Structure 1
Amino acid sequence: MTTHPAPAPPPGARAYGLSTARGVFAVVDCPAAPGAEPRGVALLLPGFTGSKEDFTLLHEPLATRGYRTVAVDGRGQHESDGPEDDETAYAQKELARDVLAQAEALDCGPVHLLGHSLGGQIARAAVLLDHAPFRSLTLMASGPAEISVSQQQRVKLLRDALAVMSMAEVWDVIQAMGPPEEVGGPARGIGDQDLLRRRWLGTKPAQLLATGRQLCTEPDRVAELAALPLPFHVLSGAHDDTWPVALLDDMAVRLNAHRTVVEGAEHSPNADQPLPTARALADFWDTAGRERT
């Protein structure tokens, strides 16, 4: 696993608790850069084992394009609270309702929604509940249904370990084995091992168990999504073991979506190649914003 030094949030970014009708969620909120024409707001949802820090490298280049970006820890992730043992609290529909509440709490009109990996499937569920709060949906390294068989096996190993070990013990095992692409994959862009350990220990076991099961059993809902009057963007790296790139290509066709493949990136384009990823996002949002006005 390659890592990079953990970057500091850009000037003007704030970390705080976003109060919503469904609780308080930890966010990093970065405004558009001074002098840039404000062009919209984007809500960024992290993936399995991830957190709001996975988007740190995107904030500044998107701010220079005029976009305010709000990266969020979902319920039970890192610095957002949630029950330790109640998996029902992390049912996909519950997490989707959280996203709707977050968009409402921003109180800025429709937002561009982006979900990375698991976050993409949660974002999809939110949009299917109510697409009105959103200008567009970007699925980043997030496929149409369940993850690949190899990744399902790795998620099952994690779930089996969590059944008999503490979070601290599982962390030690993950470090000894090396995190697989989906389990710990977003860590690729963060070199601060203390931060990685803190966010792992801050994540609730029930959240990992419930969402890991979702990743392994998610049905294909692309046809439902395609029926919505919303601009879609399917973005991925040039290689992805969690959902094969050819599968993402096909999903984009089924959605009539804008398609971006980021060269030199794998499952986390936001960390592997943040500048071309940010450029592709801003280009899409510029167009999507015009379509929805």
Structure 2
Amino acid sequence: MSQAPITPLTLRGGAGTLAAWEARPPAGVEVRGTVVLVPGFTGSKEDFEAMLPLLAHDGYRAVAYDQRGQWQSDGPDDISGYTMDDFTGDLIRVLDQVSPNEPVHLVGHSFGGYVSRVVVIAAPHRVRSFTLLASGPSSIEDINFPPPQLVAQFVEAGGQEAIWQQMSTAMFDSGNAPAPERLEFLHNRILATKKANILGILKVMEVPPVADPAVLRDAGVPILVAYGDTNDLWAPGVHENFAAQLHAETAVYHGVGHLPNEDVPAQVCADLVKFWEETA
């Protein structure tokens, strides 16, 4: 069967337009629901490029978007426009536009999981299931990442290029560097992402998105915690403990780091579909 095409989609956010992609089930495939995928810090819709057609092939309309100020989405130039309320408000607007009458399967990668979990608590009736994809409990402790305030000082001084140099050195050693064209895209993307977005997210990350996991658990939405067990920002034990606190299912990707959505997209999609079928 031919691969479902990815098409551009323009959505309305609270600070202008949000650039998005969608893939729809091909003709003859029963539509089983809508999936919204939320990217993380310095990410974009392209982080889910390999997943969107696979999910559509399995019967799900799949939508991913750039958060405000990321890559091709509009966003303010001042850090004050990047609070958690701003990010969650945009996500609610996205849900209103792509699936106003039916709850969605929500997938948040890393910081996208932070934003998504706040929406799950605020509006659980809008969400059929929630997946935390390489998204641990907080950026304050039990994380292999410098303190957000320290990173913010680094960005203030050196801008997007400085954080690119830091992140690329940390993530892409000689054994796992992406192809040159992919590396060029990642570099261009972070340069195009607004400095205020980067600083705003770092400010948001200074406080755990949900202080008590029981609040998220008690929202009553089925939860999947999916993560790689090698060089993720959070150690496997941190994810495992978080999943236990949430009474969540787990999916573990052996030998994979912080980007299972890119490294093993077919396996991630298979786990998602299995989870959705079991919790339907």
TM interval, shorter chain, is: 0.7 to 0.9
Secondary structure of the residue aligned to 2:197 is: helix
Looking at structure 2, the residues matched to 254 and 93 of structure 1 have their Cα atoms a distance apart, in angstroms, of: 25
Seq. identity, %: 32
Secondary structure of the residue aligned to 1:68 is: strand
Alpha-carbon deviations, 1:105-128, whole Å to 9, x = none? Answer: 113511111100110011011112
Aligned residue for 1:129?
122
Deviation at 1:220, TM superposition (A): 3.1
Alpha-carbon deviations, 1:24-73, whole Å to 9, x = none? Answer: 21101111133322111100001111111000111122122111110110
Deviation at 1:281, TM superposition (A): 0.8
Structure 1 residue 88 corresponds to structure 2 residue 80: yes
1:122-161 equivalences in 2 (<5 Å) = 122-148=115-141, 151-153=144-146, 155=148, 158-161=151-154
Structure 1 residue 47 corresponds to structure 2 residue 40: yes
Distance 1:280 1:188, change over 3 A: farther
Distance 1:40 1:285, change over 3 A: same
Deviation at 1:78, TM superposition (A): 0.7
Looking at structure 2, the residues matched to 280 and 89 of structure 1 have their Cα atoms a distance apart, in angstroms, of: 35
Matched letter for residue 238 of structure 1? D
Paired residue total: 272
Q: CA RMSD, aligned part only?
A: 2.5
Aligned residue for 1:162?
155
1:188–1:272: 8 Å Cα contact kept in structure 2? no
Matched letter for residue 105 of structure 1? Q
Alpha-carbon deviations, 1:213-246, whole Å to 9, x = none? Answer: 3334325331110111211111111224411111
Looking at structure 2, the residues matched to 285 and 57 of structure 1 have their Cα atoms a distance apart, in angstroms, of: 19
Structure 1 residue 263 corresponds to structure 2 residue 250: no
Distance 1:212 1:250, change over 3 A: same
Structure 1 residue 15 corresponds to structure 2 residue 8: yes
Bigger RCO of structures 1 and 2 (CA < 8 A, at least 6 apart): 1
Secondary structure of the residue aligned to 1:120 is: helix
Which residue of the other structure, out of 76, 87, 96, is the alignment partner of 1:104?
A: 96
Could you state the TM-score of these two structures normalised by the residue count of structure 1?
0.84
Looking at structure 2, the residues matched to 149 and 188 of structure 1 have their Cα atoms a distance apart, in angstroms, of: 27
Looking at structure 1, the residues matched to 49 and 138 of structure 2 have their Cα atoms a distance apart, in angstroms, of: 27
Aligned residue for 1:197?
187
1:22–1:101: 8 Å Cα contact kept in structure 2? no
Looking at structure 2, the residues matched to 113 and 33 of structure 1 have their Cα atoms a distance apart, in angstroms, of: 21
Secondary structure of the residue aligned to 1:101 is: helix
Deviation at 1:150, TM superposition (A): 6.3
Matched letter for residue 268 of structure 1? L
Aligned residue for 1:221?
212
Looking at structure 2, the residues matched to 262 and 155 of structure 1 have their Cα atoms a distance apart, in angstroms, of: 27
Structure 2 residue runs without a partner (length 5+)? none
Alpha-carbon deviations, 1:7-37, whole Å to 9, x = none? Answer: xxx5432113113566421101111133322
Which residue of the other structure, out of 184, 189, 198, is the alignment partner of 1:208?
A: 198
1:148–1:241: 8 Å Cα contact kept in structure 2? no
2:4–2:25: 8 Å Cα contact kept in structure 1? no
Secondary structure of the residue aligned to 2:105 is: strand
Matched letter for residue 81 of structure 2? A
Distance 1:166 1:243, change over 3 A: closer
Distance 1:237 1:55, change over 3 A: same
Looking at structure 2, the residues matched to 189 and 256 of structure 1 have their Cα atoms a distance apart, in angstroms, of: 39
Distance 1:64 1:89, change over 3 A: same
Looking at structure 2, the residues matched to 197 and 203 of structure 1 have their Cα atoms a distance apart, in angstroms, of: 10
Which residue of the other structure, out of 228, 235, 243, is the alignment partner of 1:252?
A: 243
Distance 1:254 1:197, change over 3 A: same
Structure 1 residue runs without a partner (length 5+)? 1-9
Secondary structure of the residue aligned to 1:217 is: coil
Looking at structure 2, the residues matched to 70 and 145 of structure 1 have their Cα atoms a distance apart, in angstroms, of: 26
Which residue of the other structure, out of 61, 74, 86, is the alignment partner of 1:68?
A: 61
